[in-house]
Chain A
Amino acid sequence: MRALRAELSKLVSLPASWLAAAVGVVVSAAVTVLSAGSSTPGPDTGFSSLALGVAGAIVIGVVAMSSEYAVEGEESAGGRQITTTLTAVPSRLRVLLAKALAVAMATAALAVVAIAVTFGLTALLLGDRAPVLDADAIVRMGGMALYWVLVALLAFALTVLTRNGVVPMAVLIANFSAVPVTFLLTRVADLANWLPDVAGMRMWSRGLDTSVEIAPVLGGAVMAAWVAVLLVIASVTFTRRDA
């Protein structure tokens, strides 16, 4: 509990997490505004904006861990924070659990804000052409929030392994925006539909044009399983290696 409070305090006091929050909300909102003017509303209106805003979740997951290992030159006062973290909470499993929980909580809160802003904007800009917010839409919003949390945890687990934010940040942001490698793979191999992000998209998308049909709940479960496996690998690595 103390470890969780420490990790939440870390996230809140780190400027990079506020940048992440801004990215999440601004990207979702900007894409919503841009597509309102250019494309006709479809089943995924709003949701497809949030699918790009998930970059904010990626940043949270990455910086929560990469900030522990950040160093500056010899002459600087900044130091590797991981030594402080592990002398304050020596149980590595507890540290990782607290961090994962803090990342999940922060990302869930961010997702709620981004979803509210996005659908507020669609209602404002599209008027009666805006997607109807019925029970199904609410369930899909829940799916989107869960999708953001799982993406953040995926980014977090990868950064535990790399101990540096650059590679996971670059690869994930590219894959979730400009170069959707995993999604394109579904064009050539049906198996790619079971990759974490593509499977997880079923939780909120109703207009997905893919080669294999996967039910939303199954898609979410597949993505959660991927994340769970990565978190286990990250925990084993983190508890065994020298800090």
Chain B
Amino acid sequence: MLTFDQLTKQRGSRTILDGITFQARPGRVTGFLGPNGAGKSSTLRILLGLDRATSGTALVDGQPFASLRDPLRKVGAVLDGSGAHRSRTGRAHLRWVARSAGIGNARVEEVLGTVGILDAAGKKVSTYSLGMGRRLGLAAALLADPEALVLDEPVNGLDPEGIRWIRLFLREQASSGRTVLLSSHLMGELAETVDDVVVIRQGRIVADGTLAEVTGSHRNLEDAFFSLTGDRGAR
């Protein structure tokens, strides 16, 4: 269970996040939706202890992420694409992450297979496509078989095949009991994937509920989103 409670973040005089409160539950895919710059990444970064909140809390099973004894076994995160240096091979990247959690190299080969990049494991990350980078990031997140997955814009920049793969993958993860929290500014791509929806706009939560609740009387999630965020899709 991932719990955000009255999270506020100020940068200078600007309020980035204002009273963010919601939960992501086990066995469900929670979609954290909002336009670019609404505060999605900041919220996830605070959860993972990368950024500091001005006030409020973001907890993993009631504990701050930074105080977890075995963080990789609690939360697997993909925030910055692959999160891998370009001049290392995919395999070398996963091996150092594995070292940090006392995990052996056999598991590295296993997750390379799970995300389908075993063939490219010996190549440098700089030669990977965006989609392969995402898969590498996911592989690192899965190394310690975590209870929760946190993904920032997992489908951004992926081709249709990659998007479909991620969708099916995340549904599988949730049905095996994991908590899945993903952020996105792409509504259409996600309606079929998420169980719960949290909508953020300019640092505030404007909707929080099941997919059906948030969609409400609108034709679909996309319409509901644009009506909630005050954006008529004129872009």
Q: Give CA–CA (A188, B51) in the complex, Å.
A: 46
Candidates B52, B71, B129, B137; contact of A88 at CB < 8 Å = B71
Contacts of B72 in A (CB 8 A): 87-88
Q: Size of chain A's interface in residues, with CB distance under 8 A?
A: 33
Q: Are B133 and A80 in contact (CB under 8 A)?
A: no
Q: Are B81 and A79 in contact (CB under 8 A)?
A: yes
B130 in contact (CB, < 8 A): yes
Q: Give CA–CA (A5, B99) in the complex, Å.
A: 6
Nearest residue in A to B64 (C-beta to C-beta)?
A90
Contacts of A78 in B (CB 8 A): 81-82, 84-86, 125-126, 133
Candidates B82, B87, B136; contact of A15 at CB < 8 Å = B87
Q: Are B126 and A77 in contact (CB under 8 A)?
A: yes
The 30 sampled A-B contact pairs (Cβ below 8 Å) are: A2-B102, A3-B100, A6-B96, A13-B93, A14-B87, A15-B87, A67-B85, A72-B126, A76-B86, A77-B86, A77-B129, A77-B130, A77-B132, A77-B133, A79-B80, A79-B81, A79-B84, A79-B137, A83-B50, A84-B84, A86-B48, A86-B49, A87-B50, A87-B72, A88-B72, A89-B100, A90-B48, A91-B66, A242-B45, A243-B45
Residue interface mask A68-112, B partner, CB < 8 A = 1: 101010111111110110111111000000000000000000000
Q: Give CA–CA (A70, B157) in the complex, Å.
A: 20
A interface residues with partner B (beta carbon < 8 Å)? 2-3, 5-7, 9-10, 13-16, 67-68, 70, 72, 74-81, 83-84, 86-91, 242-243
B128 in contact (CB, < 8 A): yes
B interface residues with partner A (beta carbon < 8 Å)? 45, 48-52, 65-68, 71-72, 75, 77, 79-89, 92-93, 95-97, 99-102, 125-126, 128-130, 132-133, 136-137, 140, 157
Q: Give CA–CA (A84, B75) in the complex, Å.
A: 12
